[in-house]
Structure 1
Amino acid sequence: MIAASVTETIQFYHLDPMNVVWHGNYVQFFENARCALLDQIDYNYPQMDQSGYLWPVVDMRVKYVRPCRFGQEICITATLKEYENRLKIDYLITDAKTGEKLTKGFTIQVAVEKATGEMLFASPECLISKLEPLK
């Protein structure tokens, strides 16, 4: 499957009062990697909008394995796992230097027709046509 990785250095503004990354910031890290993945298939949010479909996140899981700390460089990898009926993307955050697993998770997005607000039960052809050649 298709994967993309981004790196980020943990900044002071990422931290909570316990001096570890606040749990809500992991969602932003996932989003950064997801956008890199969607860029690879030329179907990021502007292209989704132009195709007439919105792709809201309808489910998400985050499993915190070890905390991220100030100054730490992390690698966030997003891997496309499903696309025929929905977009399921798995995420893995590791320490960029040691490779130690820090966090993992997934998101699920579904196609919604922009004009009608109707959810599709299968991914639209505009997405399938971009991914089938890459299989």
Structure 2
Amino acid sequence: MIKNQTKLRVRYGETDQMGYVYYGNYAQFFEVGRVEWLRALGVSYKSLEESGIMLPVRELNINYLKPAKYDDLLTITTILSKKPLVKIEFDFEVQNEQNELLTTGYASLVFMDMKKSKPIRAPKELLDQIYSYFK
């Protein structure tokens, strides 16, 4: 299992009239978590794209337990618990400063060749980094 935590403060524009985070913004929060998870592993999403690989989302599930609010400092925990091949799957947990679990989620993404628009195996460099954690 590989975990990474990212801090994010809720901005006013991310909330609804009640001051709660608008439900659609959690997908963006999870994306921030995924990008920072990769960066912590030494791989940037930008470098993947520059090498001709994209990672479109195949599936996304979100469970809303408690609302996040304007100006909350959130911790987004991004967890990889299975070794990827053609797809990579992440679990997410969002907590506030009081360590209350607010939201959980799951995303499945597919490694795609940008030119051919076909699924491909994850790049060897990324797999080497990931597999070193599973030994």
What's the offset of the Cα at 1:80?
Answer: 1.3
Query: Any conservation in 1 of the 2:86–2:119 contact (CA below 8 Å)?
Result: no
Q: Which moved more, 1:123-132 or 1:60-69?
A: 123-132
Which residues of structure 2 form unaligned runs of 5+?
A: none
- The Cα RMSD (Å) is 1.6
Query: Any conservation in 2 of the 1:81–1:87 contact (CA below 8 Å)?
Result: no
Stretches of 4+ aligned residues off by more than 3 angstroms: none
2: distance between equivalents of 1:61 and 1:3?
19
1: distance between equivalents of 2:85 and 2:119?
14
The secondary structure found in structure 1 opposite 2:49 is helix
Task: Report how many aligned residue pairs link the two structures.
Answer: 133
2: distance between equivalents of 1:23 and 1:81?
25
What's the offset of the Cα at 1:108?
Answer: 0.7
Q: Which moved more, 1:56-65 or 1:72-81?
A: 72-81
Percent identical across equivalent pairs? 24
The secondary structure found in structure 2 opposite 1:61 is strand
Which residues of structure 1 form unaligned runs of 5+?
A: none
What's the offset of the Cα at 1:19?
Answer: 2.2
Query: Any conservation in 2 of the 1:92–1:103 contact (CA below 8 Å)?
Result: yes
The residue type paired with residue 61 of structure 1 is N
Residue 85 of structure 2 aligns with which residue? 84
Residue 131 of structure 1 aligns with which residue? 130
Residue 95 of structure 1 aligns with which residue? 96
Q: Which moved more, 1:101-110 or 1:37-46?
A: 37-46
What's the offset of the Cα at 1:25?
Answer: 1.1
User: 1:56-75 residue pairs with structure 2 within 5 A?
Assistant: 56-75=56-75
